[in-house]
Copies of this chain bind each other. A is one copy, B any other.
Amino acid sequence: MALKKKPVTGMKDILPKEMEIRNYVTGLIRETYGSFGFTSIETPSVEHIENLCSKQGGDNEKLIFKILKRGEKLKLDQAKEEADLVDSGLRYDLTVPLSRYYSNNANELPGPFKALQMGYVWRADRPQRGRFRQFMQCDIDILGEPTYMAEIELVLATTTLLGKLDFHNFTIRINDRRILKAMAEYSGFPKESFDTVFIILDKMDKIGLEGVAKELEEEGFAKESIDTYLAMFKEISSDIQGVRYCKEKLSGVLDEQIAADLETIISTVEAVKTADFKMAFDPTLVRGMSYYTGPIFEISMDEFGGSVGGGGRYDEMIGKFTGNNTSACGFSIGFERIVMLLLERGYQIPTAKTKKAYLIEKNMPADKLIEIFRQAEEERKTGIQVNISIMKKNKKFQKDQMAAEGYTEFVEFFKR
C-alpha cells in the first residue's frame, strides 16, 4: 500500500531554504533577547485539556487538537461526548502553558522572571493561504514586575530584534485596557456592554469613525454616549499629547497614574530606542484577549499591511493557577510572518558560511579517499562547509543543482 505523501491538512514541510532563515532568526532571537536578560524555557507541546479549556484562550479554545485517551482509560462504549474521550491537547498558545509553568516552578525561578519561549503551537483553523495549523510562536514575558519597567524592556527588546533583521519604519501602537474602559465609562456605556463596544471599536481601521458610529447605533446604544465617545477619538493625537488629553479628560474615571505610566513608557522608549520605529498612542487599540489588564501593544508594519506582533499586561492569569496574582507582561512576535517577509525579500543571512563541494570519482582507491576526507576535515575546521559527493555522469547538472543550494566552490577529485 502506498503511503500518503502530502503533510496533514494545513501543515507544511519546511524546505532547506526556509529552514536556513528560520534557524538564523531563532538564533538571533536567542542572542538579542538573551542580551536583555531573558532566559529560554520550554513547556511540553501537550497540555492538560482542563487548562486549555479554562476560558483563558478565548476563541482559540474552539481550535484545539485534542488527544485521545490511551489504554484502559479510553472507554469507547461508555463515551457520551467528546470530553469523555480526551485527556489532553496540543497547546494553542504559549501563555497558558507559561502560567502553568510559573506556578509549577516558581520556587526555582528568580523574581522577576524574564522568560523567552520559542515553540510550536497548533490551531485547527480553517486552512488559508499563508496561515498554517502548526506555527512557531515566540514570546517574551516578564513575571513578577508590576511597574512599567516590564513594558519598556519588552518593547526595547522586541524592536532591537526587528532592527537587527533590517525592519525599519514600523510603529508600536500602545494603549491601556484601563483607558479603553475609562473612555467607555466616561461616555456612559453600560459596563456589561463594554466588550460589545470594544469589538466594534476594534474595526476602526477598517470601517472608520462613521462605520463605528453606525454599528454602535445598530446595537441600540444611546446617541449621546456614541457622540461623546467618538468625539474623543477625534481629539486624541497619537503622541504623548494624546495621553495627556486622556489624563485630563478622564480624570473622574481614570487613575491619573495610569496615564502617567503610559507617558513614561512612550517617552523612555523614544529616548532610548536604537531601531528605526515610532511609538504611537492608539486609543482604538483593543487586542482581543480578555485576560489583558493594563498596557497593550501591537506592531504595525506597512510592508506587511498588518500586525506582526503584540502583547500586553495580564496580571490576573497566573493567579488562576496559584491562587495568588502575579504581575505578568508579555510580547509575542509573529515569527511566521517575519520569516515570510524575509523570504519574500530574498533576505541574505549575514552569517552564512562558504559552501564548498568536493566531487569525487566513483570507486576512489582507499588511500586517496582517506586523503580527501582529511582535506575536508581541515577545511571544516576553518569554518567552511564541505559537502563530499560522488561525481555524477551529468556533472553540469550536478553543479547547477548544488549552486542553487548555495555552493560557490567546486573541487574535483579523480582516481588518477
Contact = CB atoms under 8 A, between A and B. Distances in A.
Contact of A44 (B8, B54, B99): B8
Contacts of A366: 264, 267-268
A5 B104 contact: yes
Most buried by B among A46, A74, A355, A377: A46
Interface string A73-91: 0101001011001111010
B385 A45 contact: no
Interface residues of A, number: 109
B37 A14 contact: no
B30 A23 contact: yes
B380 A35 contact: yes
A401 interface: yes
Nearest to A372: B272
Dominant secondary structure at the A interface: mixed
Given A13-B104, A41-B13, A153-B388, A110 B402 contact: yes
A398 to B, nearest CB: 8
A388 B122 CA distance: 34
Contacts of A51: 3-4
A306 interface: no
A34 interface: yes
B385 A1 contact: no
A208 interface: no
A105 to B, nearest CB: 6
Contacts of A268: 366, 369-370, 373
8 tightest A-B contacts by CB?
A37-B387, A11-B44, A16-B39, A14-B42, A35-B380, A272-B373, A19-B40, A66-B68
Interface of A: 1-8, 11-16, 19-20, 22-23, 27, 30, 34-37, 39-48, 50-51, 54, 65-68, 70, 74, 76, 79, 81-82, 85-88, 90, 99-101, 103-105, 108-112, 114, 120, 122, 124, 133-134, 145, 147, 149, 152-153, 156, 160, 264, 267-268, 271-272, 274, 320-323, 353, 355, 357, 362, 366, 369-370, 373-374, 377, 380, 383-390, 401-402, 404-405
